[in-house]
Amino acid sequence: MKLAVIGCGYVGLVTGGCLAEIGHEVIATDNDSAKMAVLEAGRVPIYEPTLEPMLASARKAGQLRFTADPAEAIHAADVIFICVGTPPRETGAADLSAIDSVARMIANEARTPKLVIEKSTVPAQTGSNLKRALTVYGRSGGTLFRVASNPEFLREGTAIGDFFHPDRIVVGIEDSASAEQLREIYAPILEGRFSCPVHSGKCPPAVKPEFLVTTIASAELIKHASNSFLGLKISYANVLSDLCEKLDGNVEEVTRAVGLDPRIGPHFLKAGLGFGGFCLPKDIQAFMHLADSVGVDFGLLREAERVNRQRIDRLMEKVHHFLWVIKDKQIGLLGLAFKPFTDDIRLAPALEVIRRLIAEGARLRATDPEAMERTRALFPDIAYSADPYEVARGADALLLLTEWPAYKKLDWARVHKEMARRLIIDARNQLDPLEMRLHGFEYDSFGRAGSRA
């Protein structure tokens, strides 16, 4: 099938690349000319494991191409995926201006019927506004537009594996023809007819994904409801962690036992510095705003968000407790990205930690396997090094802020030698408290006051 992807950000590139990989002919476009120049030159503007080789092979096979001319993409395709950004406005509501502008562009350019699919995360009711914009701006008056919602559940860092091994594919539709068209698009995934670019023939056993056909409004709600629930779960674990600190419990023992109940599940119960990134925090805000706008009180989410913001306060309390005065202390930061396997620092907790430490006069050195360049653009005065041991050199404290696996396997004897004061605050509960104390470190983490000796 001939598909167009409008918006070559993270979601657009992963979606477009994967759709090409499963055999569709994909043409992708974006109104950012600098980004298009990078893509047309065969490079990829973001870091996501497997993305670059996958895009290169799809282009080589002629399944994927990029164009800076949106009209070309619209004319070429029967199905158009809208993957543009919906960033938060001051109020927390989603800014839908990019969706509106794409709708008008499609209406103006389309000469043949199109199925227009919302892939971007949007509040419920966007589908009906999209349909109206397409209809009223439709140039020929007779061009038939159908609208559908097909939310993505891709996690940064594992997005390509998530596309090939989804637990569900949700399609919100207005007519059965759209459901059939979407089923055909995803048939290779539903029927297991693909060669997975991540696991090269050795995919882990997986349950067949559910293909869920819903109304457009339900599909829109499903996306916000999923991300908001994940945020709720994390905040719940974080409050448990505070309780464990006061009452000598160990949050990992508690959440492990709680999560073994299949009604609760083990995932997203990891306590620490809280959730960041451009999805969970922004989607919770947008969902609360949506609920407010229709008179529904979603105070539960407000609380989850408040708990999440307070994680930084909790960390700063620990830093103060140990260092007493922060001014002129040298602090090393392990990890900057909002999570591992990405260079994304949008709403990363590490950024707020940096702001607070700078405000108190700390001297900072930071490292991250992928996110140093992006962070340097925001904080040019920090010292950066790819070498964690250099970050430890002369430091009064090391703060572990992102759960990159490499930081679990450092040579701790060497780190110990490098540091001025052997203090480690592990804001992601990555290290073994007993082992760290045996190495001679002062060590603290979240909610593990009651760690067994």
What are the residues binding ligand UGA (CB under 6 A)? 121, 152-156, 227, 230, 234, 268-270, 272, 274-277, 279-280, 338-339
Considering the complex, what minimum distance in angstroms separates the CB of residue 237 from ligand UGA? Answer: 6
CA distance 160 to 166: 10
Considering the complex, what minimum distance in angstroms separates the CB of residue 398 from ligand UGA? Answer: 18
> Among 8, 83, 244, 279, which one carries the catalytic annotation?
279
- Sorted by sequence, the CB contacts under 8 Å of residue 167 that are 6+ apart come out as 153, 207, 209, 210
Tell me if residue 196 is catalytic.
no
On the 0-12 / 13-18 / 19+ scale of CB atoms within 10 A, 421 is middle
**Half-sphere exposure of residue 79: CA atoms within 13 angstroms, side-chain side:** 25
Considering the complex, what minimum distance in angstroms separates the CB of residue 14 from ligand UGA? Answer: 10
Spell 58-86 as b/e; 16+ CB within 10 A means b: bbeeebbbbbbebeebbebbebbbbbbbb
Evaluate whether 133 touches 154 at the Cβ level (below 8 Å): no
- Sorted by sequence, the CB contacts under 8 Å of residue 322 that are 6+ apart come out as 397, 423, 425, 442, 444
Residues in the chain: 453
- Sorted by sequence, the CB contacts under 8 Å of residue 401 that are 6+ apart come out as 273, 333, 334, 335, 336, 349, 350, 353, 427, 428
Considering the complex, what minimum distance in angstroms separates the CB of residue 252 from ligand UGA? Answer: 11
Phi, then psi, of 283 in degrees rounded to 5: -75, -35
Q: Give Cα 111 to chain centroid, integer Å.
A: 36
CA distance 413 to 440: 9
Most distant CA atoms of the chain, gap in Å: 75
Considering the complex, what minimum distance in angstroms separates the CB of residue 428 from ligand UGA? Answer: 7
Considering the complex, what minimum distance in angstroms separates the CB of residue 149 from ligand UGA? Answer: 14
Identity of the residue, 137 or 298, whose beta carbon is nearer to ligand UGA in the bound complex:
298
How many C-beta atoms lie closer than 10 Å to residue 18's C-beta?
25
Instruction: Give CA angle at 401 (396, 402), nearest 5°.
Output: 140
Identity of the residue, 121 or 181, whose beta carbon is nearer to ligand UGA in the bound complex:
121
Q: Mind telling me the catalytic residues?
A: 279
